[in-house]
Amino acid sequence: MRTLLKTAAALLLAAGTLSAQAQAYPSKPIRLIVPYAVGQGTDIAARYVADELGKELKQPLIVDNRPGAGGNVGTVAAARSAPDGYTLMIGTNATHAANTFLYANPGFDPQEDFDPIAMVGILPLVYVANNASPVNNIQELIRAAKAKPDALNTAISTTTCRMAHELFKQRAEAPMFPVDYKGSAQAVTAVIGNQIEFMVDTITSLRTAIASKQVKALGVTSAHQSKLLPGVKSVAEQGVPGYELVGWTVIYAPKGLPPEATRTLVAALNKTLARPEVQEKLLQMGIEPLAKSGEELKAFGVAEKEKWGRLIKGAGLKAS
């Protein structure tokens, strides 16, 4: 009898071990929510990262586009998903920093409802001038703005561009006037055509115009020179200490992810994003790879939310 009991116990233990191994995370496809439309920049980057991460995890990542309300629709869907590691989302400075202050009820809290897994990268902006302008760098722009307060116009096309403008006014004490355009393409055309003297937008939006010498690059908005635009110093490096305003993308999970899933995802994402060919592809998409995870990434999210909130309130933008 004892022998039979021992044998049965051994079989049960073996079965339990095999069952646990069979269910090791991840054991099925993972959904990646993209809170923007198909074909938009974040969507393109998300699909590429999903494919590469899927190879590392040996499970496919299925992209689920949930656009609407500036990214809030998809972000709410992610926040309400089970925290089991099988739903992730790609978040941005809009969904996880700005929208808290631009919408009266976004439907989620960036810190309370999400755990950041790993940063994909940043999207620096760049200040440019049209070719007719006598301004060739940031210090000359500051002097020109101070000489004619609020007389110099800067083309902007998104909230991120507006916040870069507001921070520049604040840090450089350069009183300039923002002029809204419906999209980057329209703003670029206006600058090239000398209808407006200055513009700030993503490097991706302006890289072609800069390369073809249709506009002059004055300074990038990241803390240091960007790999996306070699040879162009940052605003901070040109005498405006503490100036930094960039877009960014981060992979998030609903709050409360199991520790095993967190460890697996962090390790897989960090390994994937560190590969040279992945970094090169992201640069081509206009994203400068930047590694952050764990407590560093949590602190970054808190600091960015505070920064964007301060700038949005300072600009007088009201929540809708």
Q: Nearest CA to 98 among 314, 316, 310, 292?
A: 310
CB atoms within 10 A of CB 14: 10
ω into 178 cis (within 30 of 0): no
Quickly list DSSP for 44-85. HHHHHHHHHHHHHHTS-EEEEE---GGGHHHHHHHHTS-SSS
Tokens of 80: 């309400």
pTM confidence score: 0.88
Q: Tell me if the domain spanning 29-122+246-314 has CATH number 3.40.190.150.
A: yes
Query: In a structure prediction context, what are the per-residue pLDDT tens digits for the chain, which is 320 residues long?
Result: 455 445 444 444 544 444 444 479 999 999 999 999 999 999 999 999 999 999 999 999 999 999 999 999 999 999 999 999 999 999 999 999 999 999 999 999 999 999 999 999 999 999 999 999 999 999 999 999 999 999 999 999 999 999 999 999 999 999 999 999 999 999 999 999 999 999 999 999 999 999 999 999 999 999 999 999 999 999 999 999 999 999 999 999 999 999 999 999 999 999 999 999 999 999 999 999 999 989 999 999 999 999 999 999 998 988 88
Tokens of 16: 């339990």
135 in Cβ contact with 144 (< 8 Å): yes
Strands 30-34 and 61-65: parallel
Half-sphere exposure of 295 (CA within 13 A, CB side): 0
Half-sphere exposure of 19 (CA within 13 A, CB side): 6
Helix axes 294-314, 159-172, angle to 10 degrees: 80
241 CB-near residues (< 8 Å, 6+ apart): 171
Domains 29-122+246-314 and 124-238 share a fold: yes
d(CA 13, CA 118): 36
CATH class of 124-238: alpha beta
**171: burial class by Cβ within 10 Å (0-12, 13-18, 19+)?**
middle
Domain map of the chain by residue range? 29-122+246-314, 124-238
